Amino acid sequence: METAGRLPGIDFKKLFFGLYGVIRSKRGELPALAVFGFLMVQDFRAVLQYAKTMDPLSFLSLVVFLNGLLVAGYFTMLVWIYLTRGAAGSTTKSLVAKLVALVATFLPFTFPLLSGPAPSRVIILIVSSLTLLVGMIFTVVALGTLGKSFSLIPQTRKLVTGGPYRLMRHPVYVGEIMGALGLVVWAASIEKTLVFLLLVGCEVYRALQEEKLLMEVYPEYAEYALKTRRFIPGIF
Protein backbone atom coordinates (compact mmCIF):
# COMPACT_ATOMS: atom_id res chain seq x y z
CA MET A 1 0.00 0.00 0.00
CA GLU A 2 1.32 3.46 -0.93
CA THR A 3 1.84 5.94 1.87
CA ALA A 4 -0.91 8.55 1.89
CA GLY A 5 0.15 11.86 0.36
CA ARG A 6 3.17 10.36 -1.38
CA LEU A 7 3.44 9.99 -5.13
CA PRO A 8 4.35 6.43 -6.17
CA GLY A 9 7.79 5.91 -7.69
CA ILE A 10 9.27 9.27 -6.58
CA ASP A 11 11.99 9.44 -3.96
CA PHE A 12 11.69 13.05 -2.85
CA LYS A 13 14.77 12.81 -0.64
CA LYS A 14 16.97 11.81 -3.58
CA LEU A 15 15.27 14.41 -5.75
CA PHE A 16 15.92 17.16 -3.20
CA PHE A 17 19.59 16.29 -2.69
CA GLY A 18 20.03 15.84 -6.44
CA LEU A 19 18.71 19.34 -7.10
CA TYR A 20 20.79 20.68 -4.22
CA GLY A 21 23.90 19.12 -5.75
CA VAL A 22 23.20 20.69 -9.13
CA ILE A 23 22.58 24.12 -7.61
CA ARG A 24 25.73 23.89 -5.50
CA SER A 25 27.88 22.84 -8.45
CA LYS A 26 26.42 25.65 -10.57
CA ARG A 27 26.37 28.40 -7.95
CA GLY A 28 28.79 30.52 -9.98
CA GLU A 29 26.41 30.38 -12.94
CA LEU A 30 23.16 30.91 -11.05
CA PRO A 31 22.82 34.59 -12.10
CA ALA A 32 23.04 33.66 -15.79
CA LEU A 33 20.70 30.71 -15.29
CA ALA A 34 18.18 32.93 -13.51
CA VAL A 35 18.26 35.55 -16.29
CA PHE A 36 18.05 33.02 -19.13
CA GLY A 37 15.37 31.03 -17.33
CA PHE A 38 13.28 34.16 -16.80
CA LEU A 39 13.66 35.19 -20.45
CA MET A 40 12.78 31.66 -21.60
CA VAL A 41 9.54 31.64 -19.62
CA GLN A 42 8.59 35.16 -20.71
CA ASP A 43 9.24 34.42 -24.38
CA PHE A 44 7.24 31.19 -24.33
CA ARG A 45 4.36 33.05 -22.67
CA ALA A 46 4.55 35.75 -25.34
CA VAL A 47 4.56 33.14 -28.12
CA LEU A 48 1.52 31.36 -26.69
CA GLN A 49 -0.31 34.65 -26.26
CA TYR A 50 0.51 35.70 -29.82
CA ALA A 51 -0.62 32.32 -31.18
CA LYS A 52 -4.11 32.94 -29.80
CA THR A 53 -4.60 36.14 -31.80
CA MET A 54 -2.42 35.71 -34.91
CA ASP A 55 -3.80 35.24 -38.39
CA PRO A 56 -2.57 31.76 -39.47
CA LEU A 57 -2.99 32.71 -43.15
CA SER A 58 -0.82 35.82 -42.87
CA PHE A 59 2.81 35.40 -44.01
CA LEU A 60 3.98 38.21 -41.74
CA SER A 61 2.16 36.76 -38.73
CA LEU A 62 3.75 33.38 -39.37
CA VAL A 63 7.24 34.90 -39.58
CA VAL A 64 6.69 36.85 -36.34
CA PHE A 65 5.46 33.66 -34.65
CA LEU A 66 8.51 31.69 -35.84
CA ASN A 67 10.80 34.48 -34.62
CA GLY A 68 9.25 34.34 -31.16
CA LEU A 69 9.52 30.56 -31.09
CA LEU A 70 13.20 30.67 -32.10
CA VAL A 71 14.01 33.29 -29.46
CA ALA A 72 12.31 31.17 -26.78
CA GLY A 73 14.15 28.10 -28.07
CA TYR A 74 17.44 30.01 -27.98
CA PHE A 75 17.07 30.80 -24.29
CA THR A 76 15.97 27.23 -23.60
CA MET A 77 19.20 26.01 -25.18
CA LEU A 78 21.22 28.46 -23.07
CA VAL A 79 19.57 27.18 -19.87
CA TRP A 80 20.31 23.58 -20.84
CA ILE A 81 23.93 24.38 -21.78
CA TYR A 82 24.57 26.20 -18.51
CA LEU A 83 23.03 23.34 -16.54
CA THR A 84 25.01 20.58 -18.24
CA ARG A 85 28.36 22.01 -19.34
CA GLY A 86 31.55 21.34 -17.42
CA ALA A 87 34.11 23.73 -16.00
CA ALA A 88 36.09 25.89 -18.41
CA GLY A 89 39.61 24.84 -19.28
CA SER A 90 40.73 28.46 -19.26
CA THR A 91 39.16 31.91 -18.94
CA THR A 92 40.32 35.31 -20.10
CA LYS A 93 41.97 37.40 -17.40
CA SER A 94 40.88 40.64 -19.05
CA LEU A 95 38.14 42.41 -17.11
CA VAL A 96 37.45 44.59 -20.15
CA ALA A 97 36.90 41.50 -22.32
CA LYS A 98 34.43 40.11 -19.78
CA LEU A 99 32.51 43.39 -19.52
CA VAL A 100 32.36 43.87 -23.29
CA ALA A 101 31.06 40.30 -23.72
CA LEU A 102 28.26 40.95 -21.21
CA VAL A 103 27.40 44.28 -22.84
CA ALA A 104 27.24 42.61 -26.28
CA THR A 105 24.98 39.87 -24.90
CA PHE A 106 22.36 42.14 -23.39
CA LEU A 107 22.62 45.24 -25.60
CA PRO A 108 19.92 44.00 -28.05
CA PHE A 109 17.40 44.10 -25.21
CA THR A 110 17.62 47.90 -25.28
CA PHE A 111 16.11 48.16 -28.78
CA PRO A 112 12.46 47.88 -27.65
CA LEU A 113 13.13 50.70 -25.18
CA LEU A 114 14.43 53.10 -27.85
CA SER A 115 12.08 55.33 -29.81
CA GLY A 116 11.56 54.93 -33.52
CA PRO A 117 8.84 55.60 -36.09
CA ALA A 118 6.42 52.74 -36.68
CA PRO A 119 6.94 51.23 -40.14
CA SER A 120 4.34 52.50 -42.58
CA ARG A 121 5.03 50.03 -45.39
CA VAL A 122 4.43 46.29 -45.28
CA ILE A 123 7.65 45.63 -47.18
CA ILE A 124 9.64 47.11 -44.28
CA LEU A 125 7.87 44.80 -41.84
CA ILE A 126 8.59 41.79 -44.06
CA VAL A 127 12.27 42.67 -44.60
CA SER A 128 12.74 43.33 -40.89
CA SER A 129 11.02 40.11 -39.83
CA LEU A 130 12.86 37.96 -42.39
CA THR A 131 16.23 39.47 -41.40
CA LEU A 132 15.48 38.69 -37.77
CA LEU A 133 14.28 35.19 -38.69
CA VAL A 134 17.40 34.33 -40.69
CA GLY A 135 19.59 35.74 -37.93
CA MET A 136 17.81 33.68 -35.26
CA ILE A 137 17.97 30.49 -37.35
CA PHE A 138 21.69 31.03 -37.85
CA THR A 139 22.21 31.73 -34.14
CA VAL A 140 20.26 28.66 -32.99
CA VAL A 141 22.05 26.34 -35.46
CA ALA A 142 25.45 27.73 -34.45
CA LEU A 143 24.61 27.48 -30.75
CA GLY A 144 23.48 23.88 -31.22
CA THR A 145 26.79 23.10 -32.93
CA LEU A 146 28.83 24.84 -30.24
CA GLY A 147 26.83 23.13 -27.49
CA LYS A 148 28.52 22.89 -24.12
CA SER A 149 31.53 24.83 -25.40
CA PHE A 150 29.44 28.01 -25.41
CA SER A 151 30.15 30.76 -22.89
CA LEU A 152 29.28 34.43 -22.58
CA ILE A 153 32.80 35.51 -21.72
CA PRO A 154 35.95 34.25 -23.50
CA GLN A 155 36.58 30.71 -22.23
CA THR A 156 37.77 27.40 -23.62
CA ARG A 157 36.20 23.96 -23.24
CA LYS A 158 36.43 22.23 -26.61
CA LEU A 159 37.49 23.52 -30.02
CA VAL A 160 34.54 23.39 -32.45
CA THR A 161 35.21 23.70 -36.20
CA GLY A 162 32.27 21.81 -37.72
CA GLY A 163 28.83 22.86 -38.96
CA PRO A 164 28.58 26.62 -39.59
CA TYR A 165 32.05 26.97 -38.07
CA ARG A 166 33.37 25.57 -41.35
CA LEU A 167 32.14 28.76 -43.00
CA MET A 168 33.16 31.34 -40.39
CA ARG A 169 34.78 31.54 -36.98
CA HIS A 170 31.95 33.30 -35.15
CA PRO A 171 28.54 32.28 -36.55
CA VAL A 172 26.71 32.92 -33.26
CA TYR A 173 27.77 36.57 -33.31
CA VAL A 174 26.89 36.89 -37.00
CA GLY A 175 23.40 35.59 -36.24
CA GLU A 176 23.00 37.96 -33.31
CA ILE A 177 24.10 40.94 -35.43
CA MET A 178 21.62 39.98 -38.17
CA GLY A 179 18.84 39.67 -35.59
CA ALA A 180 19.71 43.08 -34.16
CA LEU A 181 19.71 44.57 -37.67
CA GLY A 182 16.19 43.24 -38.14
CA LEU A 183 15.10 45.06 -34.98
CA VAL A 184 16.67 48.29 -36.22
CA VAL A 185 14.97 48.07 -39.62
CA TRP A 186 11.58 47.48 -37.92
CA ALA A 187 11.58 50.97 -36.39
CA ALA A 188 14.77 52.75 -37.39
CA SER A 189 16.09 55.75 -35.47
CA ILE A 190 19.40 57.46 -34.83
CA GLU A 191 19.49 56.01 -31.32
CA LYS A 192 18.94 52.45 -32.52
CA THR A 193 21.53 52.86 -35.27
CA LEU A 194 24.14 54.05 -32.77
CA VAL A 195 23.36 51.17 -30.42
CA PHE A 196 23.60 48.75 -33.34
CA LEU A 197 27.03 50.11 -34.29
CA LEU A 198 28.11 49.79 -30.65
CA LEU A 199 26.89 46.19 -30.68
CA VAL A 200 28.88 45.40 -33.82
CA GLY A 201 31.99 46.94 -32.25
CA CYS A 202 31.50 44.91 -29.06
CA GLU A 203 31.01 41.68 -31.03
CA VAL A 204 34.19 42.29 -33.06
CA TYR A 205 36.22 43.00 -29.91
CA ARG A 206 34.66 39.97 -28.23
CA ALA A 207 35.62 37.77 -31.17
CA LEU A 208 39.20 39.03 -31.15
CA GLN A 209 39.56 38.31 -27.43
CA GLU A 210 38.15 34.80 -27.87
CA GLU A 211 40.56 34.11 -30.71
CA LYS A 212 43.46 35.32 -28.61
CA LEU A 213 42.56 32.81 -25.89
CA LEU A 214 41.91 30.00 -28.38
CA MET A 215 45.31 30.61 -30.00
CA GLU A 216 47.00 30.20 -26.62
CA VAL A 217 45.17 26.97 -25.74
CA TYR A 218 44.81 25.22 -29.12
CA PRO A 219 47.87 25.32 -31.42
CA GLU A 220 45.72 24.01 -34.30
CA TYR A 221 43.47 27.07 -34.11
CA ALA A 222 45.99 29.14 -36.07
CA GLU A 223 45.69 26.83 -39.09
CA TYR A 224 41.89 26.83 -38.78
CA ALA A 225 41.87 30.65 -38.66
CA LEU A 226 43.94 30.84 -41.86
CA LYS A 227 41.36 28.77 -43.73
CA THR A 228 38.21 30.39 -42.29
CA ARG A 229 37.04 33.99 -42.34
CA ARG A 230 36.00 35.66 -39.13
CA PHE A 231 32.47 36.83 -40.02
CA ILE A 232 31.75 36.76 -43.77
CA PRO A 233 32.85 33.70 -45.79
CA GLY A 234 35.47 34.61 -48.36
CA ILE A 235 35.43 38.32 -47.42
CA PHE A 236 36.00 39.17 -43.76
CA dist., res. 138 & res. 183, Å (int): 16
Q: Name which of 104-118, 177-191, 213-227 the model is least confident about.
A: 104-118
- Residue among 69, 180, 192 at smallest CA distance from 135: 180
Question: Which pLDDT score, from 0 to 100, does residue 11 have?
Answer: 62
Q: Name which of 97-101, 143-147, 229-233 the model is least confident about.
A: 229-233
17 pLDDT more than 50 = no
225 pLDDT more than 60 = yes
- Residue among 75, 30, 88 at smallest CA distance from 213: 88
Helix (H) or strand (E) holding 65: helix 59-84
What integer is the mean pLDDT of 88-102? 94
What percentage of the chain has pLDDT greater than the value 70? Answer: 85
Alpha carbon separation from 206 to 41, 137, 173 (Å, rounded):
28, 21, 9
Give the pLDDT band of residue 124 (cuts 50, 70, 90).
confident
The string of pLDDT tens digits covering residues 52-73 is 999 888 888 999 999 999 999 9
Question: Which pLDDT score, from 0 to 100, does residue 5 have?
Answer: 47
132 burial via Cβ count (<10 Å: 0-12, 13-18, 19+) = buried
Phi-psi sector, 7: left (phi>0), alpha (psi -120 to 50), beta: beta
Question: Which pLDDT score, from 0 to 100, does residue 219 have?
Answer: 92
What percentage of the chain has pLDDT greater than the value 90? Answer: 64
**Residues 6 or more apart from 185 whose CB is under 8 A from it?**
124, 127, 128, 131
To the nearest 10 degrees (0 to 180), the angle between helices 190-217 and 95-106 is 140
30 pLDDT more than 70 = yes
229 pLDDT more than 80 = yes
Q: What is the pTM of this model?
A: 0.84
Question: Which pLDDT score, from 0 to 100, does residue 232 have?
Answer: 85
Q: Are 67 and 31 in contact (CB under 8 A)?
A: no
DSSP-assigned beta bridge partners for residue 156: 90
